[in-house]
Structures are given as structure tokens and as C-alpha cells.
Amino acid sequence: MGRLEGKSVIITGAGSGIGRAASLLFTREGARLIAVDRTDGVKETVEMVKQAGGTAEAVMADAGSEADVIGFIRKAVSAHGKLDAIWANAGVSGGLVPLAEQTPEHWQEVLRVNLIGPFLAVKHSIPLMTAQGHGAIVCTASVAGLKSGASGHPYAASKAGVISLVQTTAYSLSGTGVRINAVCPGLIETGMTKPTFDRAKQRGTESKIGQLNPLKRAGQPHELAAMGLFLASDDASYVNGQAIPVDGGLTASMPYTGKPI
């Protein structure tokens, strides 16, 4: 029996990176998955799941659109009769535009996907979960939502918002049996961070990637997927309202030179 055996699960942002790694891991653990992304990559993810013997269906949708969110949640219930867990993982980086050059439209789009998207996932999943008396919601935040210096302004603000959403929602769901938590990735090698890795390779400084954390390396998508699996499973039955960094230890301390103490 897998840790998610027979459970109905939705993962957004499943077309690549953390979402794809989570889709493969969750289905190996027995989940029946609705994989969501607005790109064709979600179809490739589902094909990979099926080749590995898992159960998944691809839905191309915008995680920041209320109509789309309602649609893919209904899809999960129609296909599997329930919704046990949802991971609101879809996000955009927003780039590194100087503050004085940022526009309200730029902020609105980053917030729409990164913060409004998780809100919509929460809003439309909790009636189903509270009615059945159980459920797990996982949101992807970021270390950028915990401390400065890890991203551009709109991205950091959106992820701080996700953390607050998780904390406040946990209390809104008091006594329902539904849990909500966030994972806070550090520097993870995904499509979103590819420009950072590419620039380091071009400069010959690839060995310095991740040097600010105690493990001295970047993380991989499967390492985030493992934390998401724990939070979505019954193993985390007493974990609620938390924002958990998966960052090699980056947020464990103030910045330092890297010399042993």
C-alpha cells in the first residue's frame, strides 16, 4: 500500500519542475491524479506517469482563473468521487525588474498566479473536504516569502502572501479535519530557475550555486516533492498551518562567510 493509495489528488503546475516530480512521486504512492498546467508539458507529465504504471489525467488550465479552478476540481470529483488532497503549486517568477521600473500590471499578474491561484484552490476545495471530514491542502510558497534577498519584489510579496494564507486558513478550518501547509523551496533547479543556472555555467561559476546554504548545493525537484508527499499524506496528520523551508539550511541562520565556527 502506498502512502496515497486510492486518494484523489490534484497538482497544479504539473507540467515541469516540482509539479512534475510530485506527479510522478504521488502516483507511485497510489494517488489518482488530476495534473494541471497551462502548458503542453502537463501531457508529457501524464504520459510519464502512465508509463510508470500510475493513474493520471491531464487538464490544461490556468490556476489563477476561478472558472478553470472550479473546472479541474469538478473533474477530480467526477473522475474519482472525492478530493483528498490538492497541491497548489503553479507559479511564475516575475523576473528581476528594478523596483522603479515595475508596473502595476506586472505585480497584478504575479499575484494573480502565485497568490490568487492558491486562494482559489483553497476556496473551492474546502467545501468538499469539510463535508467529508478530512483533506490536505499544500501550497508552494518560497524562502523568498520568509526573508528578503531571494527574488524580485512581486514574487517575494506573493509568496509571503501564500504563507499568510496558509496560517490564517488553518484557523478558519478549525475542527473540520482539513489541514493546510506550505512548502518553502530554496534554490531548486527547475525551469523557473534555469536562467540562473545557465548564467553560472556560462561564467564557469556553476560550483558556487547554492554556496550560501550549509549543504553547499542547489536542491532538486524530487526533494520538494518528498516534502509535499509527507504533507499530503496521513503521516502529517498533526502538521497544520506550517510553512516549511526545504532549502539546504539557508534560512537556519543569518548570512555568514561560510567559514567553520
> How many helices (H) and strands (E) are present in the chain, helices listed first?
8, 7
- Asked if 228 and 169 count as a contact pair (C-beta separation under 8 A), the reply is no
Residue that the C-alpha cell 502516483 belongs to: 27
Contacts of 137 (CB under 8 A, 6+ apart): 85, 86, 87, 88, 121, 122, 125, 126, 129, 169, 178, 179, 180, 181
Strand partners, 185: 246
258 vs 197: CA distance, rounded Å: 21
93 vs 152: CA distance, rounded Å: 8
Q: How many residues does the chain have?
A: 261
Count CB atoms within 10 A of the CB of residue 28: 16
Give the catalytic positions in this structure: 155
- Asked if 27 and 52 count as a contact pair (C-beta separation under 8 A), the reply is yes
Strand partners, 31: none
CA neighbor of 36 nearest in space, from 51, 52, 47, 20: 20
32-37 and 135-140: which strand pairing?
unpaired
